[in-house]
Amino acid sequence: MIHQFQKYLQEKIEITDEQFESISSALKVKKFEKNEIVQYTGDNFKHGYFVGKGLLRAYSIDAKGKEHILQFAPENWLVSDRNNMNNEPSIFFIDAIEATEAVLMPNNFMEEAARQVPCLQPMQIKLLNNSIRFMQKRINMLLSATAEERYLDFIKLYPNLTLRVPQWMIASYLGITPESLSRVRKELANKHFRP
């Protein structure tokens, strides 16, 4: 699993085996069972996750008990709660939708690794920028896009998840009811759309 994370980095930057070896001692691999809660809201965990195998999701639960899914993290995705990175209690739950193996990265891993291996610094900035860009687009989609546009964007972002994730979770991610998602899918099928 650590090797998979190394490969992930090497696809993004030129990092040698020796450089990776010098920073990898802080990494740990952990397995999570299907439906296992990885992180509770209020936790003070000090790490993020690189998913090597399986599927995680980050979500919150409102006062009425309704779930609001912020992100799915399939293979080769990173997920973390930014509050923890600022030494604040987490505001999201993270759980395993499938049996999952993940690399646990201390919150300061990328920062410390970039000090030891300077070629990681541009990647760290790019990851942060991509995260901000993703969140801005997500907020804009929730505020202004139709249910169909949101669903099509979901398929583009997560092309292999429609068969791996229950429909109610996709609806939660999109900010619509499962019934609305069924209507959207039916309308797209009538237009001969195939994901």
Read off the pLDDT of residues 27-43 as tens digits, 9 standing for 90 and up: 999 999 999 999 998 88
Q: Taking 80 as the threshold, does the pLDDT of residue 48 lie above it?
A: yes
Task: Give the residue among 56, 76, 74, 54 at the shortest CA–CA distance from 7.
Answer: 76
Q: Is the pLDDT of residue 120 over 90?
A: no
SS (H, E, C) 182-195: HHHHHHHHHCCCCC
| Confidence category of residue 85, pLDDT binned at 50, 70, 90 | low
Q: E strands of 83-146, at which residues?
A: 93-96, 100-106
Q: Are 178 and 162 in contact (CB under 8 A)?
A: no
pLDDT at residue number 100: 97
